[in-house]
Amino acid sequence: MFTTSPIFKERALARGKSIYPKIKTFSEILPLAGKNRVQAGQKQRAASSSCTQELQALFGCLKKWEFDDKPCAKQHSSYMDCVHKGAEEAAEYMEAAKKGTLGDGGSSGKSMTSAQFNKIMKLFPQPDLGQQPYRQMKRLPTQSYAEDTFHRKHWAGKRS
Amino acid sequence: MALRRSIRVCNMYDPRVFREPITDLKELRKPLDKDDERNFLFVKAMKSDETPTFYKDRVIDKMIRVCTKDGQKETARQNVQNALEIIKRRQYKAWKKAETEEERKTIELDAFKVAKQGIRNCHPLMKLQGVTRGGTTYQVPFPIEEPEAEFRAMKMMRDICRQRAKHGETHFKDILATELLAASQNEGSTIQAKQELHKTCEANRAYAHYRA
Amino acid sequence: MIRFISRRSIGTTMQAASMASPMSSNSDIDSSSVRKIGKALETYLKHSKQNIAMMEKHRSEFETGKRHLAKMMSLDIHELDQKAIDRAIEYLFPSGLTDPNARPVMRPPDEILPRFQRFEFDEEGRPEGSRFFTLNPKIYGLLSEIGMKTQSVMKFYDEHVGSRNVNKNDLDVANLSGSQWITHEKMKKKLHEKFSNEMYAQILIAFENLAQLQGSSIEHKFLMEYREPLTASTGSKLFGPSIPTVQICAETNRRYAEVVTHCKDTRTTVRVFDAGKGKFNIDGIDLHDFRHLQSREILLAPFIVSSTLGRFDVNATSVSISAETPEAPNRIQKTSIGGQSSLPRAVRHGTSLCIAALNPECTEKLRLSGLLTLDPRKKERSKVNQPGARAKWIWKRR
């Protein structure tokens, strides 16, 4: 340690770095709270079942009868019923998602749609959620005081 | 990828004031419902091929429309109607040839019914549609509704008949008659094509979850 | 005397005093109170008096003019109604001006002169109703009425939903199909008040909100006051030419009807005779000379629908519409009339109109089957840089 440390120390100092471990402190720039709005990232979609079971049954039947569809009318009709039901549910879900109707009916899924969430957040907004820009500074901590390329000196904001 | 999903509809009939006409004679005889919007709005003009003649048939009319090429509907109509005539003649011949009464009963003499049964037998259960996921296009089996299944059956039959009639050995009407007769017995190349489609769908069933 | 009144020029003479100027409706307030309220009221009173005097003068002039006109046209003064006056003016002062507003008219002054806006006042000379200070009392009155109705509809629905002792149709959304909100101009006329486009939009928003509520059918009557039917402009349920009148042929003594219609580029004059044998004569061509089965079907369609096969004779002559339009340079004149589809369709429309005239019982049947409707469809023009109306050139990388 004794022999090596000054070398390392010099090297480290030459690089302009401190040899002591970095101390990180937490400062709350944004309030630790969820925002009042979420954006719909993806297209809202109902958790639709792709009627796999019915489809498997249909294909099994088709294979059994060498792809003749006459004996498989029952399987086909059950598959189509499933598809229709799924389409109906999806349409209902889309309607509810578009309108953002609260309560049950339509959105019988486990999670809320973003429209519904936004509606609730509008009714009960987060308290003390600041406004952008949350912390405006005249000078970034890494900048020297002399350097004022963007005329930050004249901005309204914290001196930092 | 998807440029524009919605289609701009440009219609000479203002959709706010025009409603569809009633072209069925039986329905025309009934008094109109009191709340019907046609009581106080305009009715669209009757289409050219919707004249309520006694021999009008929805399926056959659709078949004619499917068989139309380059806007020559009259030619297509003659082809289809001649095919129906050929079916009638063949069935009648078979009926005359039949010896016992039971044999005669099994032979359907109405050409319209034969054709409709043939087309009905050709309805496919699914269709294959390309779905692009991660740069690769998969042929995914999709379920289809009745009208589309009907259309696809007709299209398959038309394509097969056109293919065969291409070299001019036989006429389109003859081939169509043969095909319709065979299809009504659940055999023939259209039925084979349908089964081929089912086979492909079965092979691609692993992609079914891409349907969304 | 007949006065030439241009509806545009009058406006400035009788402009209402500034909106804030109050006045009394029965201008009998003693002079002391007038002085107290100030100059605005004085001005208003003056304008009002002037207006009353002017209207009186115009009215008497109109009456005198009417008497003179009756003498000139050798009519009795009592049978000279507005229609007769219009006809007389058109006869006496033929005008080639295209804008109808620029032509001479003679109408009662109350109809033609701008209205003088009067306000209600209480005894002390203050305007009645607090909405006076909004500058648009009628509009805000309507808005608040809509608001109140909205409240009551919502309350009604909340109270009665699910209960048995209520008419179920009352809980529905009002059925407003086939009608639209009246235009800005009509609304102005209806309320006798000027207001901005933005205000009109506000009213429409309020109306739309009320109309889409569950249970708004209880306010159906109120909503329909501010709506007009979409087809009101035509005045009939038929799109295109109306049903002709029945005439009687002088030679053969048969009833017939004649009508002119068109389809695409073909204009036809169709004459249908009663008590016929089902003969067709379309530019000298019989029914059986049409090559296509479909065109024969089209020609017979009105007879099939009205079940009058073989009862009427049809005579039709046709011309090409574009052949009649003035010739454009660099353009070959099209002279051919329609072929296997448009000529029969034009004849079909004319025939069914004539059948409806000769046999009025089957009018409704023909209308519902769409035979009395003029087909407005036309060939769409092809666009620049495109092979067709909608078709695009195939995209090619290079």
pLDDT in tens, C228-257: 877 654 557 788 899 999 999 999 899 999
Task: Find which of C14-23, C152-161, C348-357 is predicted with most confidence, using mean pLDDT.
Answer: C348-357
Residue range C363-385, pLDDT digits in tens: 999 999 999 999 999 888 889 99
Partner residue opposite B28 with nearest CB, options C294, C369, C372: C369
ipTM: 0.87
On whether residue A68 sits in a domain, the answer given is yes
Between the CA of residue C175 and those of C179, C218, C220, C240, what are the distances in Å?
A: 10, 11, 8, 27
Residue B85 has φ and ψ, to the nearest 5°, of -65, -40
Q: What residues have CB less than 8 Å from A68, skipping those under 6 apart?
A: A62, B186, B195
- Domain count for chain C: 3
Distances from the Cα of B15 to the Cαs of B10, B44, B157, C177, C251, in angstroms? 10, 10, 36, 12, 47
My answer on whether C54 and C166 are in the same domain is: no
The verdict on B144 touching A (C-beta cutoff 8 Å) is no
Nearest to A125 by CA among A31, A36, A30: A36
CA atoms in the 13 A half-sphere facing the CB of B169: 5
Two tokens, residue C142: 């309507």
Chains that touch B (3 or more CB pairs under 8 A): A, C
B206 near C CB under 8 A: no
Residues 21-80 (B) with a CB less than 8 A from some CB of C: 21-23, 25, 28, 32, 35, 37-38, 40-46, 48-49, 51-53, 73-74, 77
Q: Is there a domain that residue C82 lies in?
A: yes
DSSP secondary structure code for residue C121 in this structure: B
CA distance linking residue C53 with residue C4, whole number of Å:
20
Cα C6 from chain centre: 23
Best mutation target, C172, C233, C236, C239, to test chain B (most B CBs within 10 A): C239
Query: Would you say residue C83 lies in a domain?
Result: yes
pTM of the model as a whole: 0.68
Domain boundary, last residue among C186, C206, C233: C233
Are A136 and A157 contacting, i.e. CB atoms less than 8 angstroms apart?
Answer: yes
**Residues C221 and C285 placed together within one structural domain of the fold:** no
Are residue C170 and residue C280 in the same domain, yes or no? no
Amino acid at B201: C
What pLDDT was estimated at residue C372?
94
Distance of alpha carbon B92 from alpha carbon B112, whole angstroms: 14
C-alpha–C-alpha distance, residues C135 and C115, integer Å: 17
Same domain assignment for residues C198 and C305:
no
Instruction: For residue A68, give the nearest of B195, B202, B209 by CB distance.
Output: B195
Residue B34's pLDDT is what?
Answer: 78
Single out the residue of A81, A58, A87 nearest to residue B201, CA to CA: A58
Indicate whether C241 belongs to any domain.
no
List helix spans (H) across C73-100.
82-92
Q: Which residues contact C60 (CB under 8 A, 6 or more apart)?
A: none
For B57-210, CATH number out of 3.20.20.210, 3.30.160.150, 1.10.455.10, 3.30.1330.40 equals: 1.10.455.10
Residue C20 has a pLDDT of 38
User: Residue C294's closest chain B neighbor by CA?
Assistant: B49
B114-162 pLDDT, tens per residue? Answer: 999 999 999 999 999 999 988 899 999 999 999 999 999 999 999 999 9
Whether C226 and C262 share a structural domain: no
C337 in the same domain as C269? yes
Per the listing, tokens 């406004």 go with A131
Cα distances from A76 to residues B156, B209, C48, C352, in angstroms, run 21, 18, 83, 47
Ranges of each domain in chain B: 11-56, 57-210
C73 lies in a domain?
A: yes
Helix B146-165 to helix B172-184 angle, to the nearest 10 degrees? 130
In a domain, C374, yes or no: no
pLDDT of the residue at C13: 35
- Structural domain contains residue A124: no
The amino acid that residue B20 corresponds to is E
Looking at this protein, which amino acid is placed at residue C386?
Answer: Q
Verify whether the Cβ–Cβ distance C231 to B45 is below 8 Å.
no
Domain that holds residue A82: 48-100
Q: How confident is the model at residue A158 (pLDDT cuts 50, 70, 90)?
A: low
For residues C264-273, b (16+ Cβ closer than 10 Å) or e, as one string? Answer: bbbbbbbbbb
- Mean pLDDT score of chain C: 84
* Inside any domain, residue C377: no
- Are C272 and C313 contacting, i.e. CB atoms less than 8 angstroms apart? yes
Closest CA to A62 of B49, C371, B126: B126
On the CB side of C132, CA atoms within 13 Å amount to: 18
Domain containing C224 equals 132-233
pLDDT digits (tens, 9 = 90+) for C127-184: 777 888 888 888 999 999 999 999 999 999 888 877 878 887 888 888 887 788 999 9
Question: Per the CB < 8 Å rule, is A55 touching B195?
Answer: no
Please give the Cα distance from C131 to C143 (Å, whole number): 12
